[in-house]
Structure 1
């Protein structure tokens, strides 16, 4: 992710041209004043007035058109940045504990990223005007009076110096503000999702107190940014006013004859003095604009750094960056699975587990049996390519699962995690997960296989709530089974604890539906349910592992 502000954009060039038009405008105004001082009438100066008007209209159009071009280019760059971040978040492993929280990611991509637009649209144009316009004005002023030009040259460097000193602190303050904002949004979204649990535990007041602490921290950091902004503006106005005042004092004493030096070979005329006085404030105008957008730069760079960090901190799904030429349309064929010396390791874990080897025949139904916390979920996640393989290999029908083959081999897998996310939408959309190739007939068949049609018959035509609000635990598991059933091309089903936290009757129904769904396919199910394990063709008992399994938070597919 890179943003290049070193080369001027088309919008910046248009706006810089508009700023340079002030030079002929000031010349026409000074000429008109000189001619009026010479006793000429209004008839003699109307061409200069018309020229000032026409140049002013041209300047306004150039500046407005340049601003529109700059804003459009900034919007396009922001859209590309957002697409990169969303793509990176989509490729991140759902089992990575270091992955950015949903609330923080939404705040960064939607809200904080907007700070990049003023930085790209305004700061770049202001920076190029600072580089070009003061030099042009100094050159023109020097042609009239070297003393006035010297005053401008001496006063100008003090402004960028103090702005840079203040700007270093402004960037740090903006980064702290955005970090606090992201943490508060993540905290708020997490607590809203668990509001019913907080009420049951009578922890609403405690949560409100913590939210107030977050808000107070954000207020303090925001006020710190504003104080720095006011300080830099005060410094700029002080030195700008001093520079213009010194030029005006010199011009005044020069016209009075007190200071008879500074002009090239003589005394400045009234028109020449007027020309210099008109250009002196314009010399500092680009610096004022730069000061106004200096904090846009600090906020934009802080937002860009936040987006970069969001991409670099996540563990990517194996083969997530590989695009398939054809969609997953292969016929359902049972898959032979072979795991050879696989080192099961969670992201960020310091001590890997002992190498593991196992083999599952084509069409065989196998249960991974071990107590909770022994690494069954991690093993299934690595087989599915949701976690990278550090050592060993995974083979499906003799083909090694790696970066090049993972995306294609995943087309032959169906995944059902422990935690099924239900998003706000209809039942068919929750089952199809946005796949264009899934027809209404396939969704109807999947709901029937999972017995979901009977459980949700009363919700026909209605949308489900975010997070599965209003659904029982058994209904959520049936929805996950329906998502699994709609993957008709999947020859390997990877299922993680399908009967956990269910009553015995519902667990037996889920187990029966799963076995029926897996007929003619290879099934690998992680469980500590003795009845479900006994119903499988074979049970593989894993050793007790010293790692706590991670829970997937993505929709089952």
Structure 2
């Protein structure tokens, strides 16, 4: 995950470590300044000189810290953008009938909220870990140089902190994983209930739904408090040992300078400068460990996210053909040929399809009972799924990963359940338009009998519809997406149950709209249970369980 930015992270860690080590120079300047004021005859220089050294080194530390932070944040932004792009590309390519496909809300939560946990891990934990590996050891060596007693105190107190951090960290990791899972569940619940809001009101299930939200919120709150309890526990342990260590150093230095203790130094007793210097170093011996402990929970959160990403990536990929990118249309309109085609949906049975040819401009109805594989055939023709056996040809070209994008540039798709994007109706109707190919929008609306629908909307084509066409009936939404297909004027339109759940009059209007589009030269394949619609097609293919058997 961090391989592309490893060099930047290493540079950020080195700069942060160098900035921390510069405190030794600042501490030395402060110690000498104080010692000069107390014993001017024994200390060379002047307090003003030491003050200038302190300020100059402080500016240098600030510059190094700033540069280290900039490098770390730049690396974090790179990793975050890369992982989000990989996640969205992988999940958007996953087959829609894949039972392992996570809910959209769960994927959105992972991309928008959970992946953000990588930023504090990379900008705080990674540099803190580098400083914790170097700075305490350097300060420990310096402390032993001046006083074996101070070095011994730091040596005993320091390692206890990582030991307790590791023990607490195991609990923190589990708590973070449970919190992340509860956060995903909460978002999935919210999206599902919002999409079913009308049904909830009709079924008078408002109180039950609110109760479900309260239960989910209570579970999320409990998981969050569990994480916070672990965080406070680790901070308490850290502060306890750090405070004990600093206090013991202060007591030893104080009594040594008063002459009450005659051990702990090497050949001569501690001087004022050495004592102040050691006092100033003691807190910074623990500071990198403090920073590491503060960022320990960032690591736990990032580990939980990395595990979730790994679980998604380890699943078998079920993607469509091609890349989904815009491409120039494939050649010229040609005969569509299906030969020996079979398809096994993820976790499903093998479906076999009859052979057929469809010349340009002709129409075909695919009929059969529900679940027989009619919609799967349309997906295969559109390159939205890869066949298990057989092939699909467009003229002399085989439909494969290399030709799928160009083939889809000639296709139109009419889904069974109309969907609209956030934006105006005009924006939705012009989504699939190809320059030089499209029918005029007013003609497309009239052809599909959708012009009357637009006339009833409060702002006409500038009206914003909900995702499922809120503000228009199911039949009106169906006529609008027929108008969208007509405006794009594809060479071949694939229509999945275009008249399902419609009354006879509305179904007839949709049928006439489709046949009007055929009259302009578009070929049409419909998967349908509607006998009247099937009878209006040039040919029919009836799929039966016998044909479908593996």
Return the TM-score normalized by structure 1. Answer: 0.89
Distance 1:84 1:435 in 2: 28
* Structure 2: 5+ residue stretches without partners: none
Q: CA contact under 8 A between 1:318 and 1:387: conserved in structure 2?
A: yes
How far off is 1:134 after superposition? 1.2
How far off is 1:259 after superposition? 4.5
Change (3 A) 1:153 1:438: farther
Question: Are residues 1:513 and 2:510 paired?
Answer: no
Greater shift, 495-504 or 472-481, is seen at 472-481
The within-5 A match list for 1:280-359 is 280-310=282-312, 313=315, 315-321=317-323, 327-329=327-329, 333-340=333-340, 342-349=341-348, 351-353=349-351, 355-359=352-356
Q: CA contact under 8 A between 1:365 and 1:522: conserved in structure 2?
A: yes
* Partner SS state of residue 354, structure 2: strand
* Partner SS state of residue 415, structure 1: strand
Q: CA contact under 8 A between 2:342 and 2:390: conserved in structure 1?
A: yes
Distance 1:464 1:174 in 2: 39
In structure 2, what is the equivalent of residue 392 of structure 1? 390
Distance 1:322 1:423 in 2: 18
In structure 1, what is the equivalent of residue 465 of structure 2? 464
The within-5 A match list for 1:429-440 is 429-433=427-431, 437=435
Change (3 A) 1:12 1:43: closer
Question: Are residues 1:532 and 2:533 paired?
Answer: yes
Q: CA contact under 8 A between 1:123 and 1:294: conserved in structure 2?
A: yes
Change (3 A) 1:101 1:205: same
How far off is 1:502 after superposition? 0.4
In structure 1, what is the equivalent of residue 376 of structure 2? 378
Return the TM-score normalized by structure 2. Answer: 0.90
Distance 1:232 1:546 in 2: 65
* Partner SS state of residue 401, structure 2: coil
Q: CA contact under 8 A between 2:354 and 2:547: conserved in structure 1?
A: no
Distance 1:389 1:145 in 2: 76
Distance 2:499 2:324 in 1: 34
* Partner SS state of residue 70, structure 1: helix
1:365-386 C-alpha deviation (Å, 9 max, x unpaired):
2111112222211222122222
Q: CA contact under 8 A between 2:330 and 2:403: conserved in structure 1?
A: no
In structure 1, what is the equivalent of residue 364 of structure 2? 366
Q: Which has the higher contact order (CA 8 A, sep 6+)?
A: 1
The within-5 A match list for 1:142-291 is 142-257=144-259, 259-291=261-293
In structure 1, what is the equivalent of residue 401 of structure 2? 403
How many residues align? The count is: 541
1:333-380 C-alpha deviation (Å, 9 max, x unpaired):
24322131x33322222x323x33321231332111112222211222
Greater shift, 14-23 or 250-259, is seen at 250-259
How far off is 1:442 after superposition? 4.3
1:277-322 C-alpha deviation (Å, 9 max, x unpaired):
1111100000101111111121123234334545555854323437
Q: CA contact under 8 A between 1:422 and 1:464: conserved in structure 2?
A: yes
Change (3 A) 1:279 1:301: same
Distance 2:211 2:436 in 1: 47
* Partner SS state of residue 465, structure 1: coil
* Structure 1: 5+ residue stretches without partners: 548-557
Q: CA contact under 8 A between 2:329 and 2:408: conserved in structure 1?
A: no
* Partner SS state of residue 506, structure 2: helix
Question: Are residues 1:451 and 2:453 paired?
Answer: no
* Partner SS state of residue 98, structure 2: coil
